[in-house]
Structure 1
Amino acid sequence: MLENTVYRLRHDKKLSIGFIGGSITEGCGASSPKTSWVGRTCDWFTRTYPEAEFRFENAAIGGTGSMLGVYRLEHELLDKSDPDLVFVEFAVNDWSWPYDGIFSDMEAIVRKIRTRKPTADIIFIYTATLYTTQSLVAGCEMESRSAHSAVAHYYGNILCVEIGEALRDAVYLHAGGDWLKYTQDNVHPNDEGYRIYADALIAQLEKYLGGAEVPAELVSYGNMPPRLSKFDRTEARMIDPSEAVMSDGWTIINEPICGKGTHYIRADKPGAWIELHFTGRRAGIYQAMTNDSGYFAYSIDGGPEKKDCSYTSAGQIAMCMTNEMEYGEHVYKLRILEDKPEGSSGTSLNFISFIVS
C-alpha cells in the first residue's frame, strides 16, 4: 500500500495531495483549518518530509456525499491539483442511501482517479458520529461503509483507515459516553476530537510510509477490472449554465456562493425557465440553497413536472437529480414557481452548474 506515495516523497521529493468529502473533511467544528484532521495531516507531511514540495487541495463540502462528489471530482479536485494521493471521506454522508447507488458513485470515483492518473494512491477515510454509533450498536448495517469497502477490495491497493474507532474509544473510555466532550454537536469534532482523528490517521501513514523501501519505479493501477455497477457514473460531469437555453431574468454572477465555485447563475422571477439539452441517463443541478430561495419545478423531455424546494435558513450546497432513464438525448428544464416557502424572503434559484451522467 502507498508504494507510489513513498516513491514520490523520497525519490521525486514532490507530492500533490487532494481531499474530497463532507463537513468533517471540510473541518466543520475546528477552531481553524489548521486544527482539523486535514490541517493536522498536511502539517504532519510537511514536518516529516521537510525536503519535499507539497501541494494540498481540499474539495470537501459539508452535507454532501459521493452522490454529488462523483460529479464534482474532476472539475473541483483533479483538474485543480492533479493529486498523487487522494483522501476520500463520504461514508457518514452516504449513510442511509441505497447500497447500489453508493457503490456506483464510489466505483466511478475510483475509476476516474485511476483513469486520470493511474499511479495515484487512494485512501478511504471512515469517521464516526453518535448517530452512526447508535445504529451500529442496535445491530444495523452501515451500508455506506460496506459499499465503500467493497469498492476498495474489488479494485485493490486502496487503503481504508478507520479513524472513527479512535474517537468512539475516547468517548466511551475517557468521556463516559458523552460525545460533546470531543464534538460540537455529536457529529463534528472540536479541536481535541480532530486531534484524535489525525493521530489515528497519522499512525497508519507512519506504518505504510515510515520504514518502507523506495520502489524502483511507480506502479500503475490503470489496468482496472471490469466495471461492476449497472450504470456507468464515470460519465458524471458538471456543465456550465452558460451552455443552456434560458428565458429572460437569469444572471451569471462571477463570485462564489456559499463559499463554493467561481460563479453561479441566479433568477428570482416566477416563470423564469432554463433548459439543457444533454446526452445521458440523468440530470440535475448543483445548487446553493439560500434564505431567499423558493420552489422550482423540473421536467424531462416535456414530461410531468416535479416540484422541489431550494430554501434553507442558512446557506447550504445541495443537489437535485432526476431518476435514471434510458441513455440518449434528453432535455432537462427548470422553472421557478411563484409560491414561497415559509420563512423565505424570496423565490430565487441559485445554482453553480448542471450535473449530468
Structure 2
Amino acid sequence: MNEQIWKHRRPLAALQRALASGTLRLGFIGGSITDARGRNNWPEPVIAWFAEHYPQVRLFVENAAIGATGSELAVFRAEHDLIQRKCDLVFVDYSVNDGDEPSEKRMRTREGLLRKLLKDGTRDVVVVHTFRQPFYRDMIEGNMPASIADFETLAEYYGVGSVWMSLYALEEVKKGRMRWEEWLPDGLHPTERGSLSYGQSVIAFLEKELQTDLEQAGQEDAYVLPEPLNASHWERAYQLSWSDVKTEGPWVIRRWPHLEWIDQALETAAVGARLSFSFVGRGLSLGFDFGKNSSEIRYRLDGGEWVTSVRERPDWCGNDGWFRSYLVADDMDPGTHHFEMEVVHGDTPDCRGTNCRIGLIGIIA
C-alpha cells in the first residue's frame, strides 16, 4: 500500500456527527474532473457509496465544481455555494487547474479557500489530487509535482486529510488493472473507468477514517483555526454588490439563465460602454461568462495607466459558458481604490464578438 496516496491528519469529526444525526451534506468544489454535469465523474461512486452504506441517512449533495476554473474563483464562491448550504464534508480539487499559476498566487488563493471552509469548525475538508500530463515525469520518477506539493504543505499545516487519487490510478496502470486509455485518453479527463478508480481511492480513505473513535482520539474539542501561513491569503475576499457599480451606456443586470453558477450578470455588448466603482481592499478579481464572442476590456486603477486585457481563447472554448476569472491586481496598498473599465473589441481573429458579461466583482481584502 502506497502511503503517499492517503494522508490521515485529523479525524473527520463533522462527518461522523452528521452520519449520527441522520442528515449528511456533501460538498465538492474543483474543475472539470469533479464537475457534476457529466454525471460520470469521481464524486458519483463516492456519493453512491454513502447512499449504499448509510441508507438511514438523508443525503444532500452540493457539487459546486466548474470546468476550467481554479481556486481564485472558488474563494469568492465558497460562501454561497458551500458554506451557506451547511456542508458537513467538502472535497477540494484544484491541483490540476491551479497548475499553471505561480506558486505564490495559488498558495494565497488556496489558503484563503481552506480558511473560509474551516473557519467555524462545523465542517471537514479533504483535498484530492487529480492528474494532468505535465505531472507525469515527476510521478513516474517517484516525485511530487509542485502544484500538489504546495497543496500538501497547506493540508499538513491545517490538519486536512488528502487523497492523491491520480497516484492510486497510476498504481493501477502499473499493476495492469487498468489501461492508460481507460484512465486518461486525453491526458487529463478520466473515462468512467478512470473516475471509478479515483472514487475508489476516496472510498478507501473514508472507510479508514470512519473506523476512528473520536472520543478515544481526543477529537471532540472545537477546531481552532491556526494563524495563517501566508499573510497575503485571501480568506477575507468578498463580492462587491451591483449597487456599488456606476455604469455609462446600455448595461443591464440580468438573472443569468446560461451558466448555473452565476445568479445575476451585468451585461452589455456595446463597444465603449463603461463602468466604475470604488472598493476597500488590496486587490480585485473579475469573473466573466466568457467565450469566443466575448469582448476584451480596457481598464485602469486609481487614475493610472490604461491596460487592455488580452485573453486566450482555446479551441475547446465555446462562444460563451466559461466562468473565467481575471485578476486585475492583488498587491496594492490596503485602502480605498477606484476602478474604471471600458468595453473594447479584442481586435484579434479569435475574438468574434463584444459581449461583456460580468458574473462577479471580487474584492481581495
Question: Taking structure 1 as the reference length, what is the TM-score of the superposition?
Answer: 0.89
The 1:283–1:213 alpha-carbon spacing in structure 2 relative to 1, beyond 3 Å, is same
Task: Look up the match of 1:230.
Answer: 231
Cα distance in 1 between the residues matched to 2:286 and 2:175? 44
Task: Look up the match of 2:201.
Answer: 200
Secondary structure in structure 2 of the residue aligned to 1:187: coil
Letter of the aligned partner of 2:309 in structure 1?
D
1:131 CA drift (Å): 2.6
Instruction: List 4+ stretches of structure 1 deviating above 6 A.
Output: none
Task: Look up the match of 2:164.
Answer: 162
Task: Look up the match of 1:9.
Answer: 19
1:27 CA drift (Å): 4.8
Question: Where in structure 2 are the equivalents of 1:298-337 lying within 5 Å?
Answer: 298-309=299-310, 312=313, 313-314=317-318, 315=320, 316-323=322-329, 324-337=331-344
Aligned equivalent of 1:350, options 351, 357, 364: 357
Cα distance in 2 between the residues matched to 1:105 and 1:345? 32
Alignment RMSD, CA only?
Answer: 2.4
Cα distance in 2 between the residues matched to 1:264 and 1:154? 37
> Is 2:94 aligned against 1:90?
yes
The 1:199–1:175 alpha-carbon spacing in structure 2 relative to 1, beyond 3 Å, is closer
Cα deviation digits, residues 15-68 of structure 1 (max 9, x gap)? 11111111111157xxx41x3211211111111111111211011111111122
Task: Look up the match of 2:148.
Answer: 145
Which 10-residue stretch deviates more, 277-286 or 162-171? 162-171
Cα distance in 1 between the residues matched to 2:138 and 2:125? 28
Cα distance in 1 between the residues matched to 2:27 and 2:87? 5
The 1:159–1:246 alpha-carbon spacing in structure 2 relative to 1, beyond 3 Å, is same
Cα distance in 1 between the residues matched to 2:50 and 2:142? 38
Aligned length: 347
The 1:138–1:269 alpha-carbon spacing in structure 2 relative to 1, beyond 3 Å, is farther
Aligned equivalent of 2:124, options 96, 121, 124: 121
Question: Where in structure 2 are the equivalents of 1:235-246 lying within 5 Å?
Answer: 235-246=236-247
The 1:263–1:213 alpha-carbon spacing in structure 2 relative to 1, beyond 3 Å, is same
Cα distance in 1 between the residues matched to 2:268 and 2:312? 14
Instruction: Say if 1:255 and 1:264, in contact at 8 Å, map to a contact too.
Output: yes
The 1:302–1:135 alpha-carbon spacing in structure 2 relative to 1, beyond 3 Å, is farther
Aligned equivalent of 1:77, options 82, 85, 88: 82
Question: Taking every aligned residue pair, what percent have the same amino acid on both sides?
Answer: 25
Name the structure with the higher helix share. Answer: 1
Instruction: Say if 2:345 and 2:351, in contact at 8 Å, map to a contact too.
Output: no
Instruction: Say if 1:283 and 1:355, in contact at 8 Å, map to a contact too.
Output: yes
> Is 2:139 aligned against 1:133?
no
Instruction: Say if 2:294 and 2:355, in contact at 8 Å, map to a contact too.
Output: yes
Instruction: Say if 1:22 and 1:90, in contact at 8 Å, map to a contact too.
Output: yes
The 1:123–1:309 alpha-carbon spacing in structure 2 relative to 1, beyond 3 Å, is same
Question: Taking structure 2 as the reference length, what is the TM-score of the superposition?
Answer: 0.87
Task: Look up the match of 2:46.
Answer: 41
The 1:76–1:298 alpha-carbon spacing in structure 2 relative to 1, beyond 3 Å, is farther
Secondary structure in structure 1 of the residue aligned to 2:309: strand
Letter of the aligned partner of 1:341 in structure 2?
T
Secondary structure in structure 2 of the residue aligned to 1:224: coil
1:273 CA drift (Å): 0.8
Which 10-residue stretch deviates more, 215-224 or 260-269? 215-224
Which 10-residue stretch deviates more, 187-196 or 122-131? 122-131
Task: Look up the match of 1:186.
Answer: 187
Which structure 1 residue ranges, 5 or more long, are not aligned?
none
Cα distance in 2 between the residues matched to 1:130 and 1:338? 34
Which structure 2 residue ranges, 5 or more long, are not aligned?
1-10
Instruction: Say if 1:311 and 1:341, in contact at 8 Å, map to a contact too.
Output: no
1:73 CA drift (Å): 1.1
Instruction: Say if 2:139 and 2:145, in contact at 8 Å, map to a contact too.
Output: yes
Task: Look up the match of 2:295.
Answer: 294
Task: Look up the match of 1:26.
Answer: 35
Cα distance in 1 between the residues matched to 2:346 and 2:23? 54
